[in-house]
């Protein structure tokens, strides 16, 4: 009898142990299944978080600070002394009187310490300051430009009336009109003193791509290792492609020769990642050969980057509207992540892309 009880007790103990082991097994199995299902999700989430988000280098797309447009003297006398253009993300070159050109450089969120030399305003440059919603910095103006600045309500800093924003570099040994320089610090102080708006909700004129654009397979693409843009009998601009750095090295020419465009402080050549070039009609309007520009409307041109050029169209509906650049299929162009020179050339002047 005792033996039977002992056997029964053993069976109960074994059954309890079995049930305990079974419960533990179920719990461990559930944990395994849970981990098997959840861990990959967590790992996937962690992987997504770790992937770097691509952002532009040329400008901060999240910044709402307002553009600053500066008029650059571009007579050959000052070529050895030009400063600060390497910090501009966008530069316009347009004809002025005497067959010369001037540059208007667009800066955003820079701390450039030497900019210039700075020269006077011309009316059609205002159109491009407007399309960039830019504060306009200049030293003097033609009578028409001065009237337009007032009529169009353009926020500007004119060194003729507010010279605190500039200094004269007399050590250069140049005539007075070539010696005015400024800095971002001085510009911002001047802007603050005038209570101008310093933020914007305006989009950039150009659309940028964080991924490298290759034009070689696009419709109408041609090699563009050298670009020659003639402005007049006394001025031309040339770009030579550096395939290693994937930028265009900029030179400026006169009737006497071609000269690399170097920064005064760094002695490094100015370069462009992107070039947009097109032609518009210009003509003299006074005895000083001041120019008018028929830049409202549309036409054709080229977008050039990474050793290739493709034909494009441009359209500007009114003075304050943004110029829209499109491929021939009607799609709005995107430009590579880098600085851009927009070369607005007089009609029927030589343009060579080779």
19 by Cβ neighbours in 10 Å (0-12 / 13-18 / 19+) ranks as exposed
CATH 3.40.50.2020 assigned to domain 67-353? The reply is no
| Per-residue pLDDT reduced to its tens digit, 257-282 | 999 999 999 999 999 999 999 999 99
SS3 139: coil
- Which residue ranges make up each domain of the chain? 67-353
Quote the pTM value.
0.86
DSSP 8-class letter at 320: T
Q: Report d(CA 259, CA 80) in Å as an integer.
A: 10
The residues that bridge with 115 in the sheet, in sequence order, are 182
| Range 101-130 average pLDDT | 98
125 by Cβ neighbours in 10 Å (0-12 / 13-18 / 19+) ranks as buried
| Per-residue pLDDT reduced to its tens digit, 60-78 | 999 999 999 999 999 999 9
Task: Tell me how far apart the 2 most distant CA atoms of the chain are, in Å.
Answer: 136
Judge contact between 283 and 291, C-beta under 8 A.
yes
Query: Tokens representing 328?
Result: 């021939």
Query: Tokens representing 260?
Result: 């690399």
| Per-residue pLDDT reduced to its tens digit, 312-354 | 999 999 999 999 999 999 999 999 999 999 999 999 999 999 9
Q: Report d(CA 228, CA 244) in Å as an integer.
A: 21
| Per-residue pLDDT reduced to its tens digit, 50-63 | 677 889 999 999 99
| Per-residue pLDDT reduced to its tens digit, 6-61 | 566 666 666 666 667 666 666 665 555 555 555 555 555 555 556 778 899 999 99
Q: What sign for the dihedral angle of Cα 269, 275, 276, 278?
A: positive
Please name the residues in contact with 113: beta carbons below 8 A apart, sequence gap of 6 or more: 84, 183, 184, 185
CA 57 distance to own-chain centroid: 9
């Amino acid at each position: 009898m005792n033996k039977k009880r002992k056997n029964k007790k053993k069976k109960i103990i074994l059954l309890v142990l079995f049930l305990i082991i079974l419960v533990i097994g179920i719990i461990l199995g559930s944990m395994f299944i849970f981990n098997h299902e959840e861990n990959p999700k967590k790992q996937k989430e962690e992987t997504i978080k770790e992937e770097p988000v691509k952002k532009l280098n040329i400008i901060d797309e999240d910044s709402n600070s307002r553009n600053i447009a500066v008029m650059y003297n571009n007579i050959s006398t000052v070529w050895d002394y030009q400063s600060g253009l390497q910090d501009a993300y966008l530069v316009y070159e347009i004809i002025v009187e005497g067959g010369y050109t001037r540059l208007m450089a667009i800066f955003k969120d820079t701390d450039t310490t030497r900019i210039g030399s700075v020269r006077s305003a011309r009316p059609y440059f205002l159109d491009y300051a407007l399309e960039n919603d830019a504060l306009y910095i200049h030293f003097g103006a033609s009578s028409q430009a001065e009237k337009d600045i007032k009529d169009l309500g353009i926020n500007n800093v004119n060194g003729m009336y507010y010279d605190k924003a500039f200094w004269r570099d007399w050590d250069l040994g140049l005539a007075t009109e070539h010696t005015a320089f400024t800095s971002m610090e001085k510009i911002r102080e001047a802007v603050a003193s005038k209570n101008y708006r310093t933020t914007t909700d305006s989009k950039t004129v150009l659309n940028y791509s964080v991924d490298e654009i290759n034009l070689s397979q696009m419709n109408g693409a041609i090699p563009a290792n050298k670009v020659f843009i003639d402005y007049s009998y006394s001025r031309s601009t040339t770009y030579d492609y550096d395939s290693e750095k994937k930028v265009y090295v900029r030179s400026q020419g006169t009737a006497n020769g071609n000269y690399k465009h170097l920064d005064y402080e760094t002695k490094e050549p100015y370069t462009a990642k992107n070039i947009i070039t097109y032609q518009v009609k210009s003509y003299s309007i006074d005895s000083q050969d001041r120019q008018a520009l028929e830049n409202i409307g549309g036409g054709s041109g080229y977008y050039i980057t990474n050793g290739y050029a493709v034909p494009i169209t441009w359209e500007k509906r009114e003075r304050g509207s943004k110029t829209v650049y499109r491929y021939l299929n009607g799609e709005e162009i995107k430009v590579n992540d880098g600085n851009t020179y927009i070369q607005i050339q007089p009609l029927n002047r030589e343009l060579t892309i080779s």
